[in-house]
Amino acid sequence: MSSPPLLLGNEIYRHSTLGGKHPLSIPRVSTMLDLVGALGWLAPGQYAESRPARPEELTRFHVPDYVAAVQAAERSLTVSPEDSLRYNLGRGGNPVYATMFRRPATGVGGSLMAAALLLAEGGIIHSPGGGTHHGRPDRASGFCYFNDPVLAILHLLDGGLSRVAYVDLDVHHGDGVADAFAGDDRVLVVSVHEAGRWPHTGLADEEGIGNLFNYPVPPGMNDSEMDALVEGAIGPLVESFRPDALVLQCGADALADDPLAKQELSNLALWRAVRALKGLSPRLLVLGGGGYNPWSVARCWTGIWAVLNGIGIPDRLPAPAEALLRSLNWSRAAGRNPPEHWFTSLADTGRDGPVRDAVRALVGRTRERMRT
């Protein structure tokens, strides 16, 4: 990995919104990109603009009728009752909005660009606009219209790779990716998620097919428990798989400051996970994912970029970065009186704690499976 990491982004994330009080109507990718710039953490040649995927690229996984329905809904800003029900559009957290095709297509385009570059050159690529792991072949699901992790993995496999590992750190089970590759021994699919949370899949005893590994952690997961999973199970599992490429989904919604989940992680735990896993493959694609607090998402993903580049995290942010964070607005109660450290630092205070029996059992289960 001689070339420096590459960061992918696009201005569509600054100028489009899912509207109203939708959880994703907050500035996430744009704020992360601005924060990286304010910190001076982009060398020449380290940033590229992602392109939107073409319909024919999307249909490598998604059915053509569904892709056409998303395009039509964007053009008309309406969806018929029949198409709404059939494709889960305009319902279930998947609104009809002005860039509902172009925005998710750009997320896919970034992941496909990354996959092509990784095939050609190896290295590390960070595409925070990706990570939409719930998208189904024929319908939207969980705020995800298209499934860019699946399409990136397919591109890597189509390009000749024989082993791709996918590790999902989002608070929700990566159901769309797991279902897409269940039984495909070329792809190792690992998901750490909150037990009992939507989409209510990914139970430990649902692993069934040998390439799927689920880590459903009870609410309240602390940093020590994430460390135990990565060090005792996920890291050894990925290392033994010897992947030609690793796709790492880094949703920030398992952080304690996220409003939609019940986990208690600091961003330090996610940074340590990325640091532990990033050297286990000659090709690494790091994606975004969930995360519904603009401060915690931007600070977390900016710290991930620092980890990928070996940059030290400053104790106190410089004035331009602090001013950027102070300029954010968030309509939720926590956003009306945010704590000072959301403005002045990237790093959270660590949230270590006891490793519960349920987490130890998940680690033990992986060790047993690796022995058989």
Q: Work out whether the CA dihedral 362, 366, 367, 369 comes out positive or negative.
A: positive
How far apart are alpha carbons 222 and 263 in whole angstroms? 7
CA 81/CA 90 separation, integer angstroms:
9
- Report which residue type is found at 326: R
What does the alpha-carbon distance between residue 91 and residue 89 come to, in Å, rounded to a whole number? 5
Pairwise CA distance, residues 305 & 265, whole Å? 18
Q: CA 101 to CA 104: how far, in whole Å?
A: 6
Judging by beta carbons within 10 Å of its beta carbon (0-12, 13-18, 19+), is residue 69 exposed, middle or buried? buried
What is the Rg, in whole angstroms, of the alpha carbon atoms belonging to the chain? 19
Determine the Cα–Cα distance for residues 41 and 163; give it in Å rounded to an integer. Answer: 32
Calpha distance 293→23 (Å, rounded): 9
Q: Catalytic residue at 134? A: yes
Query: Which residue in the list 133, 134, 155, 173 is annotated as catalytic?
Result: 134
Positions annotated as catalytic residues are: 134
